[in-house]
Amino acid sequence: MKRRQFNKLLTGVAAGIGLSTALMSGQAMAADDPLKVGFVYVGPIGDHGWSYQHDQGRLALEEHFGDKVETTYVENVPEGADAERVIRNLAQSGHKLIFTTSFGFMNATVKVAKRYPDVKFEHATGYKLADNLGTYISKTYEGRYVAGYVASQMTKSNKIGYIASFPIPEVIRDINSVQMALNKYNPDAELKIIWVNSWFDPGKEADAANAMMDQGVDVILQHTDSPAAMQAAERRGKYAVGQASDMSSFGPNAHLLSVVDEWGPHYIAQAQKVMDGTWESHAMVEGMTEGAIVIPSFADSIPADVKAEAERLVAGIQDGSIHPFAGPVVNQAGEVMVPEGEVLSWEELEKMNWYIQGIDAELPK
């Protein structure tokens, strides 16, 4: 830990003389040719959100294998030409398994993967595959459905707020998942969506939360990464749902639940496969069943019957008996996209770019 912190300081200094990124060695030295695993993050590990949660996965990997792995991470890597250089550096310096954890790293990862056939690459949230390049993504919409159900029961004003980042399939899918829950459990509830055009801007997220509460919203969900909205809800005695990491500490009273990404199990499983020589390219989609999406706790403020139903939903999603997008799924124009008895397939969810019926807003183009 000490060394990593020192390295972080060094990065700050190095950045000052013009180096925008630098490699940071996670562990000093380990015994007997450990497997070197590299991680590329788009944000700072201190965002308490997306990148932070990936880094928690990296730490879980270290803890699980101890001396048998050596991890390296590079944070704050811009999505563009620079990413290719960073990934190539990792591949050159003996890393045999490299995770690139943002959508925008896709093309850079593909390029580097071509040049290093004996290195395994895994790209989060992307769709391009190769023999030595796999993808992985988690089904956040499963957690979002449970959150939508709890919100539908906890709202008194029947106005639920949703702070959204960018209109990409991942975000649209999750908004729709919440609306699916509202349609089923409380059709009178209205979902107010505010786009902040940022993944991470605490000030703006708090402003959005406040603007919603001024308009009568009393439960806030978010697809942005800072706990600022949770805090804003706490201050005004409203409810909120945490995103990516457990945000309960920021709103002891406001916090209903958090939908948490657990990357650790995936990282451990893939590292094990590389060690055993059984790793194969895959397009992995993991959710509550695999433990990639977890809801660590439900708040005491949630009534017992609501909590019981929420837990039933979690169990149902885990065993596959409940699907958030179970038909009939109807779009805003009233067209039936999936008839009763079927579910929306992952192929369709993967590129979802339309709102379902019940959302009273236009999708930003």
Provide the binding-site residues for another protein, judged by CB under 8 A: 5, 8-9, 11-13, 15-17, 43-48, 52, 161, 192-198, 200-208, 210-212, 214-215, 217, 226-228, 231-232, 235, 245, 249-250, 360-362, 364-365
87 vs 228 by CB, closer to another protein = 228
CB of 353 to another protein, least distance (A): 15
122 vs 234 by CB, closer to another protein = 234
52 vs 298 by CB, closer to another protein = 52
CB of 217 to another protein, least distance (A): 8
CB of 52 to another protein, least distance (A): 7
17 vs 333 by CB, closer to another protein = 17
196 vs 257 by CB, closer to another protein = 196
CB of 357 to another protein, least distance (A): 16
**Quick one: three-class SS letters along the chain?**
CHHHHHHHHHHHHHHHCCCCCCCEECCCCCCCCCEEEEEECCCCHHHCCHHHHHHHHHHHHHHHHHHHEEEEEECCCCCCHHHHHHHHHHHHCCCCEEEECCHHHHHHHHHHHHHCCCCEEEEECCCCCECCEEEEEECHHHHHHHHHHHHHHHCCCCEEEEEECCCCHHHHHHHHHHHHHHHHHCCCCEEEEEECCCCCCHHHHHHHHHHHHHCCCCEEEECCCCCHHHHHHHHCCCEEEEEECCCHHHCCCCEEEEEEECCHHHHHHHHHHHHHCCCCCCEEEECCCCCCEECCCCCCCCCHHHHHHHHHHHHHHHHCCCCCCECCEEECCCCEEECCCCECCHHHHHCCCCCECCCCCCCCC
34 vs 161 by CB, closer to another protein = 161
